């Protein structure tokens, strides 16, 4: 065995030893139980109630708010209902649309950006204290294929709303998971 092979073997032995020492330090985030037998993250997320957003009925924002709520509930519960609530998640959203490319001949938009800004707070149901607050946003773009295709424009906007709502729900879900996993 040459000195080069000896050095490689020594390095591999050190890496294996470090891996063995640190293997017990990690635990899966979505494990069934915590390290000391406490409820797992999935159980904690199931106990978060997501009430409907306070938005005018029949408005585009109400549909987007419902989409955010449904995406959040599906990612936290896997269904429409969770466990008996210990926490409550309150949200407020605002939406924006911005024309980014304008056709110089017709002065109509060829591409637009759609955005959602969300403010959320997690409250403890027993004390009614706010234990977590945060903001998140999403910006997505969509094309408007031809000015005479009104349905395509409407469908493009709706698809952009759904994609932005999914991003908002994922951001909030990840923040809640981080909070319940680490306590901060």
pTM of the full predicted structure?
A: 0.80
| pLDDT at residue number 22 | 73
Distance CA 118, CA 162 (A): 14
| pLDDT at residue number 41 | 83
Domain locations in the chain as residue ranges: 3-182
DSSP 82-120: -SSPSEEEEEEEEEEEEEEEE-TTT--EEEEEEEEEEEE
The per-residue pLDDT for range 132-171, each reduced to its tens digit, is 999 999 999 998 877 667 788 889 899 999 999 999 999 9
What is the Cβ-side half-sphere exposure of residue 59, based on CA atoms within 13 angstroms? Answer: 11
| pLDDT at residue number 21 | 72
The per-residue pLDDT for range 68-126, each reduced to its tens digit, is 999 999 999 887 677 889 999 999 999 999 888 877 787 777 888 999 999 999 999 99
Residue 121's closest CA among 100, 91, 83? 91
Is the sign of the CA dihedral 55, 60, 61, 64 positive or negative? Answer: positive
CATH code of the region 3-182: 3.30.160.150
The per-residue pLDDT for range 27-40, each reduced to its tens digit, is 666 666 666 667 77
């Amino acid at each position: 065995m040459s000195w080069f092979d000896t050095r490689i073997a020594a390095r591999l032995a050190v890496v294996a030893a470090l891996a063995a020492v640190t293997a017990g330090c990690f635990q899966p985030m979505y494990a069934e139980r915590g390290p000391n037998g406490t409820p797992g993250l999935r159980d904690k997320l199931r106990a978060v109630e997501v009430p409907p957003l306070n938005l005018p009925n029949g408005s585009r924002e109400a549909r987007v708010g419902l989409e955010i709520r449904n995406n959040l509930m599906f990612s936290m519960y896997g269904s429409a209902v969770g466990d008996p609530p210990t926490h409550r998640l309150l949200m407020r959203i605002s939406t924006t649309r911005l024309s980014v490319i304008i056709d110089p001949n017709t002065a109509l938009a060829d591409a637009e950006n759609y955005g959602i800004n969300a403010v959320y707070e997690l409250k403890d149901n027993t004390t009614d204290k706010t234990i977590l607050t945060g903001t998140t946003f999403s910006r997505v773009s969509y094309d408007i294929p031809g000015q005479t295709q009104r349905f395509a424009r409407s469908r493009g906007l709706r698809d952009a709303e759904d994609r932005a709502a999914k991003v908002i729900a994922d951001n909030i879900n990840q923040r809640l998971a981080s909070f319940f996993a680490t306590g901060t």
